[in-house]
Amino acid sequence: MPLNRRTKLLTGLIALSMPKKIKLRNRDVILESDSDFLRNFGINGTIIETPGHTIGSLSLLMDNGDAYVGDAAMNFMKFLGLKKRPMIAEDYNKVFESWEKLLNSGAKQIFPSHGDPFSAEELTKRLAEFWIR
């Protein structure tokens, strides 16, 4: 089954299991753009919007260039030929825009939720391979 058909099938199955409403609590923080909010707690990094995998995906870019990207990029199951792309994404063009944003913001080392960390140079290489502007 081609990657895009698998993606649509998996996305549909996941959507069925997702809660329909989210009830906000007083302690929840709503961010409407990139934010230095965590600096208030001594964390030397910036929260960056990185949509693509999901609309609300966020990454944490530390001042030293370490980027904790969640599912914005992956580094596992190499036999699937994902080449750092998330297995499931709402919009792959937004994934690639998010990659470019991370790279332009100073990311040096990528820490994905799935798989081992890898260099920003690897992400740059994959971005050039996939994204046609």
Write the pLDDT tens digit of every residue in 28-72.
666 767 878 888 888 899 999 999 888 889 999 999 999 999 999
| Residue 133, pLDDT above cutoff 70 | no
Between 78 and 111, the more confident residue is 111
> Is the per-residue pLDDT at 3 higher than 60?
no
The mean pLDDT value for 101-127 works out to 93
CB proximity list for 26: less than 8 A, separation 6 or greater: none
| Burial class for 124, CB neighbours closer than 10 Å (0-12, 13-18, 19+) | middle
Closest CA to 61 of 52, 53, 70: 70
The mean per-residue pLDDT over the stretch 67-88 comes to 82
User: What domains appear along the chain, each with residue ranges and CATH number?
Assistant: 33-130 (3.60.15.10)
- 8 A C-beta contact, residue 123 and residue 95: no
Q: List the end-to-end C-alpha distance of the chain, in Å, as a whole number.
A: 27
Looking at per-residue confidence, does 99 or 129 come out higher? 99
Q: Are 71 and 53 in contact (CB under 8 A)?
A: yes
> Is the predicted pLDDT of residue 130 greater than 90, yes or no?
no
Residue 61's pLDDT is: 96
Label residue 81 by pLDDT band (50, 70, 90): low
